[in-house]
Chains A and B, each alone.
Chain A
Amino acid sequence: RKEVEQDPGPFNVPEGATVAFNCTYSNSASQSFFWYRQDCRKEPKLLMSVYSSGNEDGRFTAQLNRASQYISLLIRDSKLSDSATYLCVVNRFGGAAGNKLTFGGGTRVLVKP
């Protein structure tokens, strides 16, 4: 079983619609969680950190469920520019060794007019 699993998609989303997708992680010792977006042939860019209480940044809402070990991302009022691959990322703090991120395989979102 992969440490971080995501539905690869693609999620075909009409412009203006809402889309949500999840990510599950297997290591209960995981300490921090992120969503990154990656455009084709570009580097991953941090979208948002995910906190236990849930957090919102504009049209994006992230939730963390530690008991069930999943993270979710919801995008409201989808824009064409939201088309990207969304990477679920889990961090195990390595202390003085630094932090070790584990990436999910990514969920591809295509927003269409």
Chain B
Amino acid sequence: DTEVTQTPKHLVMGMTNKKSLKCEQHMGHRAMYWYKQKAKKPPELMFVYSYEKLSINESVPSRFSPECPNSSLLNLHLHALQPEDSALYLCASSPMFSLADSYEQYFGPGTRLTVT
């Protein structure tokens, strides 16, 4: 099973709202990722969690706040977003160690976020 699930599928929020995106995987992967993807562009890495600790923050504005409650769950808390933050937010997971030295990442279906 290579499934990563994300909720909600779609989210519309105002600039003063607080909302959260959720991601879950049960593949035993100990690395989890948040990406942002704008239309006709490739995904851009936002955050990496390894062993439930934040290991990479790609200079993301503080209005995005990630959280990893346990090894299967990853949240992205949103507050005071701007219209330009509208995008597809993708979660991914990967093993930390691979005999094949490959480290494939598996993506969830994404949350399509619209900020009004």
Residues of A within 8 A of B (CB): 31-32, 34, 41-46, 49, 87, 91, 93-94, 96-101, 103-106
Q: In the bound complex, what is the Cα–Cα distance between A45 and B100 (angstroms)?
A: 19
Contacts A43-B108, A87-B42, A103-B43; is A94 near B56 (CB within 8 Å)?
Answer: yes
Contact B43 A98 (CB under 8 A): no
Contact B50 A98 (CB under 8 A): yes
Mask: chain B, 26-58; 1 = CB below 8 Å from A; 0 = not:
000001010000000111010011110001100
Mask: chain B, 92-115; 1 = CB below 8 Å from A; 0 = not:
001010001111111111101000
> Does any Cβ of A come within 8 Å of B81's Cβ?
no
Contact B43 A44 (CB under 8 A): yes
Report, as a range, how many residues of chain B touch the other chain.
20 to 34
Contact A42 B55 (CB under 8 A): no
Partner of B50, one of A44, A49, A96: A96
Q: In the bound complex, what is the Cα–Cα distance between A87 and B42 (angstroms)?
A: 8
Of the A-B pairs whose beta carbons lie under 8 Å apart in the complex, a sample of 27, sorted by A's number, is: A32-B101, A32-B102, A41-B112, A42-B109, A42-B110, A43-B90, A43-B108, A43-B110, A44-B43, A44-B90, A46-B104, A46-B105, A91-B103, A94-B48, A94-B56, A97-B55, A97-B56, A98-B33, A98-B48, A98-B55, A99-B103, A100-B48, A101-B45, A101-B105, A103-B42, A103-B43, A105-B41
Residues of B within 8 A of A (CB): 2, 31, 33, 41-43, 45, 48-51, 55-56, 88, 90, 94, 96, 100-110, 112
Q: In the bound complex, what is the Cα–Cα distance between A43 and B23 (angstroms)?
A: 14
Nearest Cβ in chain A — how far from B35, in angstroms? 9
Residues of B near A41 (CB, < 8 A) are 88, 112
Q: A43-B109, A98-B48 are in contact. List 17 more A-B contacts (CB 8 A).
A: A32-B101, A34-B104, A42-B110, A44-B43, A44-B90, A45-B107, A46-B104, A87-B42, A94-B48, A96-B51, A97-B56, A99-B103, A100-B45, A100-B56, A101-B105, A103-B42, A104-B42
Nearest Cβ in chain A — how far from B112, in angstroms? 8
